[in-house]
Amino acid sequence: MLRSLTGYFSNDLAIDLGTANTLIYMRGKGIVLDEPSVVAIHNDAASNKKSILAVGLEAKKMLGRTPGSIQAIRPMKDGVIADFTVTEQMLKQFIKKVNPNRFFAASPRIVICVPCGSTQVERRAIKDSALAAGARRVELIEEPMAAAIGAGLPVEEPTGSMVVDIGGGTTEVGIISLGGVVYSNSVRVGGDKFDEAIINYIRRNYGMLIGETTAEDIKKEIGSAFPGAEVREMEVKGRNLAEGIPRAFTVSSNEILEALTEPLNQIVSAVKIALEQTPPELGADIADKGMVLTGGGALLKDLDRLLAEETGLPVFVAEEPLTCVVRGSGKALDKMDKIGTIFTNVP
């Protein structure tokens, strides 16, 4: 009775504070927010005051298209906080958005995930910014653990499960058994690095400058990680560096594959290093079950194929890879009172 009563008032949240997107799970409801981690700030020249103009989807549309008085910022970089105050403001706005009920606005308990490669200082920063955004208590969970729970892997059983979470800023490789992370490794390569590689490739080979949004579109449309049977083409518009005039040109999927080779190799080597470091018993489990890909990067065409060919292990993409981490954090939040071991500590 008391449980259901406290459950009614409780608005505990699980947050996947990602470099590209922030997702929020509310206990008893589900995923209630899924927006880009972008903040637009208006800088009033007269009074020299800064105010938040927009967050999320609205702010993302402004990226790269702002006049001098407006700044569109992505406050997260490589999976960790790059701009502390802006991140705090963004979290505040998002929490307000999912929680418009002012009457029972008891400050929530929040589970928030951190990259396993983040330093204690970076974790502390994430924890503090969630506290400043109005949390009563903050628990941190490592991303590979959250991703594995979200993908439905048997994390609490005495068997090794391997998960590769490719986010916007980082790629996390984790090997999990008995509710704990046995080995984890994080490389600062993700969707953003893919975009960057495409921009650089096109500048080098075409003498054309394209924006981040265009690069992202190219990646989603014709990007792939493994040579496929068909070659797809896409028309792209950018600024010609020599003439200084916007021009349209055509790129093919083979070229984009070539552009992505370098960041993809870094992911492959991170996976291989993880497999080398895995204790033999768990390695045997993984040879049987293979690895699971989660995160937005897993949507890159044929990435599972690339990793399967490189490692010789079965690889599959989790269902709804984009929401895996937040669903996993949400499940951890639901079980928060029963199990404590899956959370990581900050001194």
Partner 1 sequence: MEQPAEFPQSGVTESVGARLKAARESRGLSLGEVADRLKLSLKQLEAIESDHFEALPGAAFVRGFVRNYARYLELDVAPLMQALDAHFPSSVREVPNLAHHDAAGPSLAALDDEAAEPGGRKGWLLAGAAVAVAAALVFWFNRGGPAEAPAGGETLAPMMTEASANAAAASAPAAAAAPAAPVVPATPAASAPAPAATAAQPGAGSLRVVAAGDAWVAVQDADGKRLIYETLKGGNEKTVSGKPPLKVRIGNAPQVQIYYQGQPVPLASKTRGATARLELN
Contact footprint for partner 1 (CB under 8 A): 23-26, 28-35, 56-58, 61, 97-98, 100-101, 150-154, 159, 288-290, 292, 304, 308, 311-320, 323, 327, 330-331
Q: Is 296 annotated as a binding residue?
A: yes
Residue 117 or 174 with smaller CB distance to partner 1:
174
**What's the closest the beta carbon of residue 101 comes to partner 1, in angstroms?**
7
HEC string of 7-74 equals: HHHCCCEEEEECCCEEEEEECCCEEEEEEECCEEEEEECCCCEEEEEEECHHHHHHCCCCCCCEEEEC
**What's the closest the beta carbon of residue 147 comes to partner 1, in angstroms?**
12
Strand partners, 22: 17, 35
| Cα gap 189→169, rounded to integer Å | 6
Residue 30 or 180 with smaller CB distance to partner 1:
30
Residue 44 or 288 with smaller CB distance to partner 1:
288
Q: Is 298 annotated as a binding residue?
A: yes
**What's the closest the beta carbon of residue 122 comes to partner 1, in angstroms?**
26
Residue 25 or 183 with smaller CB distance to partner 1:
25
Q: Which residues contact 252 (CB under 8 A, 6 or more apart)?
A: 222, 231, 232, 233, 234
Q: Is 170 annotated as a binding residue?
A: yes
**What's the closest the beta carbon of residue 319 comes to partner 1, in angstroms?**
5
Residue 28 or 205 with smaller CB distance to partner 1:
28
| Cα gap 186→189, rounded to integer Å | 9
Strands 80-81 and 76-77: antiparallel
Q: Is 218 annotated as a binding residue?
A: yes
Structure tokens, 47: 């009074």
Q: Is 20 annotated as a binding residue?
A: yes
Q: Is 299 annotated as a binding residue?
A: yes
Structure tokens, 62: 């402004």
CB 177 within 8 A of CB 161: yes
**What's the closest the beta carbon of residue 339 comes to partner 1, in angstroms?**
17
Q: Is 276 annotated as a binding residue?
A: no
Tell me if residue 211 falls in helix, strand or coil: coil
Binding site feature residues for ATP: 19-21, 168-170, 216-219, 296-299
Binding site feature residues: 19-21, 168-170, 216-219, 296-299
